[in-house]
Structures are given as C-alpha cells and as structure tokens.
Amino acid sequence: MELKLHDIRIDAVDEALIKAKQYRSLLEPDIAESICLDALHIDPDNQDVLVIYILALCDQISRTEKQTKIKVIERTIDKLASQYKRYYYSGLLNERRARHLITQAMSHSFAYDYFYEALKFYQQAIERCPDQNDEAILRWNSCIRTIEKEKLKPRRDSEDVLVDMES
C-alpha cells in the first residue's frame, strides 16, 4: 500500500466543509485543518473553505508549537475576496494572539499590543460591514472588555524607561 494523499471529488467540497465545521466544534482543529486542505487542493479559491481553514488555524494558536502557522493564516486571509473579511479575520487573528498571551505569565504585557492591532482591523471591518452584520462590533466590544478586565496598558518603550530613569 502506497502512503499518499488522495484527492476528493469537486462535488464533495460542500460536504467536506460541513465536516470541517463539525470537527472545529468538537475542538479538533487539526482534523478540520486537514479537511480544509483537501478541499482547497481541489477548489483553492473557495471562500467558505478559506474561512473555516483560517478559523481552524486560529483555533490552534494557543498551542505554542503552532505559532509558526501565523504566516500561513496571514497568507490565507490575503486570499479572501472581501475587503471586509480580510479586515475582520486579521482582527480575529490578532485577538486570538492577544488572548493566548494573556495566559502566558511572561507575555501578559504584550497582549495589549495585539488587542490594539485587532481593534484597528475591527474598526476597518466595521466601516465596511454588510447590512445586518455586527460581528466586528461584537468582537470589538469583547476586546475592550478584556482590556478593561485584565487592566491591560500599552507597553512603555525602552526610550520612555530611559527618560524616567534619568529624571
């Protein structure tokens, strides 16, 4: 038996997308990612599959060994046809990175920076959101509440620290 990948049929992409969503909801983003890769191999511009692929990769950010996937996520976001979605998912990526950093003792101070980047992207998304779609506003509000709850503040630049030390 030869160990090689098999291609799925083009008419199976929609069903594969349903399976990928199910695996995400079962907290198995690795399997969802694999299913999306199979679908994207056959239909590389499928916007629905690209979104689930981005989400499956973002679900893995909290696993420190998966940090290398950030560039893959960014490249995939760039493939989204909608400017709104590019801003929204860029915001989501930064928010997920921030939420991961909050859980890391030595990285807590960097979380604000990623939340701030997320907010900039969400603001761009809000300005372009389709009618009846407030998901960027909901994410914005969640970020603001987390910043307040965690009492996050901008990091001080090293120059600011030097000025304070000289005073």
What span, in angstroms and rounded, lies between the C-alpha atoms of 137 and 120? 12
Instruction: Identify which of 46, 52, 42, 36 has the alpha carbon closest to the alpha carbon of residue 9.
Output: 42
Model-level pTM? 0.88
pLDDT tens per residue across all 167 residues of the chain: 899 999 999 999 999 999 999 999 999 999 999 999 999 999 999 999 999 999 999 999 987 656 668 999 999 999 999 999 999 999 999 999 999 999 987 787 899 999 999 999 999 999 999 888 999 999 999 999 999 999 999 987 634 443 444 44
Decide if 40 contacts 46 (C-beta within 8 A): yes
- Angle, alpha carbons 156-89-70 (nearest 5°): 65
Domain spans of the chain, in order of start = 1-79, 82-155
Q: Rg (Cα) of the chain, in Å, rounded?
A: 19
